[in-house]
Amino acid sequence: MQIILLQITAVFVFAVGSLLLGRWLRRSMTKETAERASRYSHFMYWGLLVFPGLIGFFNPGLTHYDAILGVPSLPLRFLGEIIGALLVLMGGFLLIITNRSLARVGNGAAAFILTKRVVIERAYKYTRNPMSLGYYVACLGVGFLAGSTSLVVGTLLVVIPAHIFNLKYFEELELELRYGQPYQEYKIGVPFLLPNLMARRTAAK
């Protein structure tokens, strides 16, 4: 139970940290501040979302969350495993291709080296946040693979909203300050998270 409480606390701290970083940017709207704040945000993501989540693989173990919290596991386990496997593959694919685009076009790497220009190729043509989308989908897939109601619900109601708050309140402003007009134009033409594939097909015609 202590690990679960730690994970919940870590997500809360991540949300509060995102709020503080966003307020800092609004008080000092410079490219230099945006670059520093971006590094802090990446550190928070790995330290408060990813690392505590990885701990859960080993303690208490992904299949034990529901029993600890006293909630029933997901029904139709075999179907859930198929859905989970597909989601993990889809999310992993998005994470791989977006990182490759960041390295090749943006001359950077997620969380480690800040990109130097706006990336608009491949998945970034359809959503401004394909890496985040891949992360959400993969997390949900893990929950379905484990047959865990609490992991799926926790991802949907706690982890994803906290991360979206970071993107909307902090990261969008940070990117505007770092990239200027190119990002503002990109932001107007591409959806925030869910791809609008129909609009793309219409535009292509």
Per-residue pLDDT reduced to its tens digit, 96-150:
999 888 888 767 666 667 888 898 888 999 999 999 999 999 999 999 999 999 9
Query: 10 Å Cβ neighbour count for 189?
Result: 11
How high is the pLDDT of residue 197? 62
Work out the average pLDDT over 170-187. Answer: 95
The answer to pTM > 0.85 is yes
Q: How far apart are CA 153 and CA 132, in angstroms?
A: 18
Q: Which residues pair with 113 in a beta bridge?
A: 109
Work out the average pLDDT over 183-194. Answer: 93
Q: Comparing C-alpha atoms, which of 6, 135, 110 is closest to residue 59?
A: 6
Rounded percentage of the chain residues whose pLDDT exceeds 90: 79
Work out the average pLDDT over 172-183. Answer: 95
Query: Would you say the C-alpha torsion 168, 7, 115, 192 has a positive or negative sign?
Result: negative
Number of domains in the chain: 1
Work out the average pLDDT over 9-16. Answer: 98
Query: Would you say the C-alpha torsion 36, 40, 42, 43 has a positive or negative sign?
Result: positive
Quick check: helix, strand or coil at residue 198?
helix
How high is the pLDDT of residue 202? 39
pLDDT at 177 over 90: yes
Domain that holds residue 190: 2-204
- Residue 195 carries which DSSP code? -
Q: Comparing C-alpha atoms, which of 202, 154, 175 is closest to residue 29?
A: 175
SS3 labels along 106-131 = CCCECCCECCCCCCCCHHHHCCCCHH
Say which residue, 205 or 54, is predicted with more confidence.
54
Residue that is written with structure tokens 């909630």 in the block: 71
One-letter amino acid of 64? H
In this structure, what CATH number is given to the domain that contains residue 116?
Answer: 1.20.120.1630
Work out the average pLDDT over 69-92. Answer: 96
Cis ω before 60 (30° cut-off from 0): yes
Residue 37 CA to chain centroid, in angstroms? 17
